[in-house]
Amino acid sequence: MQFNRQLFPDLDLTRPIVISGPCSVETEEQVLTTARQLAEKGIRIFRAGIWKPRTRPGAFEGIGTKGLAWLKLVKEQTGMYTCTEVASTQHVYEAVKYGVDMLWIGARSTVNPFLMQEISDAVQGLDIPVLVKNPVNPDLELWVGAIERLYKAGIRKIGVVHRGFSSWDKQIYRNAPHWHIPIELRRRFPDLLMFCDPSHMGGKRELISPLSQQAMDLNYDGLFIETHYKPETALSDSGQQITPDVLQYILKTLVVRQGGKPDAEKLSAYRAEIDEYDDQLVELISKRMKISKLIGHYKKENNIQVLQAARYNEIIEERVKQAAGLGIKSDCMQKILEAIHEESVRLQIEIMNMDNSKTSEK
Ligand code: PEP
Ligand code: MN
């Protein structure tokens, strides 16, 4: 597959290409004010959701077709290109009818081949750029499949957006990045334009800057960031939206190594993967400690001693054997397990010594 990176004829492809705008279109004033502030800062592509995929019914599900007229005003008044999410044939027809310049496929659609086929059929024959967000689950083939369906429908201006992947226990990220998945996508399709969406990845405004920097270090082409002129009043994703002023500040502080050496890119990719595993390690250790505490309470209530030598030996022996099979030296694994076990015992002794009125605080 060969893609056309020039999404718009006059689009400057210098990194980062920035796409920004509110999570949702809410009012005419909100979109126009936000758009004007962004345009003043040199942003060329405006994002805004007209139809919103909300997890539960009853939340703000988007303003609908009525908002398309306001996006048209954004174009006329600021000269920015506009883009919105489409998740059905009807959305495609309506968006195109109102002159939306680019479409994006949301994570909840990329995951669904039936829907991807329907959307691809609807855009067949149109010369419109389409961005494909990663599917909600970390499955590269589903992502590739969605891109292939659009490609078969004749779409060549395709970009992808890494917005992180959903997991059942959200700790640091709303949608955890799995940097190696888009890296593999880029290895297969080197000319595919790649964006990072730090807003949906982090789910909090504080994470936008570090995630954007990481994306730049990994040689992403662009950033897809939610902005709102009054983020605290936003009807959706309020906690992750920033003002256009803050966006400008973040962009200014980004270090963009233009034409980065392939070696540096490779190193950043490895580091990103290590960070991801360290994240998982910390989260796993924290979960393990919580269970240790529960066991501590159980032992206390049932008068069982903290240190169970047989159990301790079994844990160490089994895991050291497993680790050796995976190429980890036994004394290294032993040290790690002992440190973890020592802390579990300390926690349980603390529980034993707690006065009984507090033992119910688990
Ligand atoms: C969005 O960009 O507003 C959105 C709904 O994103 P995602 O599909 O990544 O959840
Ligand atoms: Mn959003």
State whether the beta carbon of 53 lies less than 6 angstroms from ligand 1.
yes
| Atom 10 (ligand 1) nearest CA | 107
The structural domain count of the chain equals 2
Please give the distance, rounded to the nearest whole angstrom, from the Cα atom of residue 238 to the centre of ligand 1: 13
**Tens of pLDDT, residues 9-53:** 999 999 999 999 999 999 999 999 999 999 999 999 999 999 998
Of 76-80, 205-209, 229-233, 255-259, minimum mean pLDDT range: 255-259
Q: Please report how the helices 244-253 and 28-40 are oriented relative to each other, as an axis angle in degrees rounded to 10.
A: 30
Residue-range definition of the domain harbouring residue 310: 264-359
What CATH number did the domain enclosing 190 receive? Answer: 3.20.20.70
pLDDT cut 90: percent of the chain above it: 76
101 has a pLDDT exceeding 90? yes
**Ligand 1, closest atom to CA 199?**
2
- One domain, residues 174 and 209: yes
Q: Is residue 3 part of a domain?
A: no
DSSP code, position 171: S
Kindly state whether residues 38 and 167 are assigned to the same domain: yes
Ligand 1, atom 1, residue with closest C-alpha: 23
Beta-strand pair 158-162/17-21: unpaired
Are 241 and 293 in a shared domain?
no
Based on the domain organization, do 211 and 128 belong to the same domain? yes
How many alpha carbons fall within 13 Å on the CB side of residue 181? 23
Task: For residue 179, tell me if it sits in a domain.
Answer: yes
**Residue 361 pLDDT more than 70?**
no
pLDDT at 200 over 50: yes
Q: CA-CA distance, 25 to 236, in Å (whole number)?
A: 10
Task: Report the residue among 54, 197, 211, 240 best suited for mutation to probe ligand 1: largest number of ligand atoms under 8 A from its CB.
Answer: 197
Q: Is 122 within a domain?
A: yes
Q: Do 336 and 238 belong to one domain?
A: no
Contact 47, 83 (CB under 8 A): yes
Q: CB of 200 closer than 6 A to ligand 1?
A: yes
Phi, psi for residue 37 in degrees, rounded to 5: -65, -40
pLDDT digits (tens, 9 = 90+) for 256-312: 987 656 677 778 888 888 888 888 899 899 999 999 999 999 999 998 888 878 888
Averaged pLDDT of the chain: 93
Tokens 């909600």 identify what position?
Answer: 136
Do both 225 and 300 map to the same domain? no
91 and 163 belong to one structural domain: yes
Residue 218 sits in the same domain as residue 285? no
- Residues 158 and 213 reside in one and the same domain: yes
Centre of ligand 2 to C-alpha 153, Å, is 27
Do 191 and 289 lie in one domain? The reply is no
- Is 141 domain-assigned? yes
Q: Do both 240 and 93 map to the same domain? A: yes
116, part of any domain: yes
Is 258 contained in some domain?
Answer: no
What number does the ligand 1 atom closest to the CA of 164 have? 9
Q: Is 135 contained in some domain?
A: yes
318: domain CATH number is: 1.20.59.10
Number of the ligand 1 atom closest to the C-alpha atom of 109: 8
Q: Which of 222, 253, 284 is the last residue of a domain?
A: 253
2, part of any domain: no
**Do 273 and 185 sit in the same domain of this protein?**
no
Q: Which ligand is nearest to the CA of 174?
A: 1
183 lines ligand 1 (CB under 6 A): no
Average pLDDT over residues 333-340: 88
Domain limit, last residue, from 228, 253, 278: 253
Ion ligand 2: residues, CB < 5 A? 23, 237
- How many alpha carbons lie under 13 Å from residue 259 in its C-beta half-sphere? 0
DSSP helix/strand/coil, 54: coil
Residues paired with 80 in a beta bridge: none
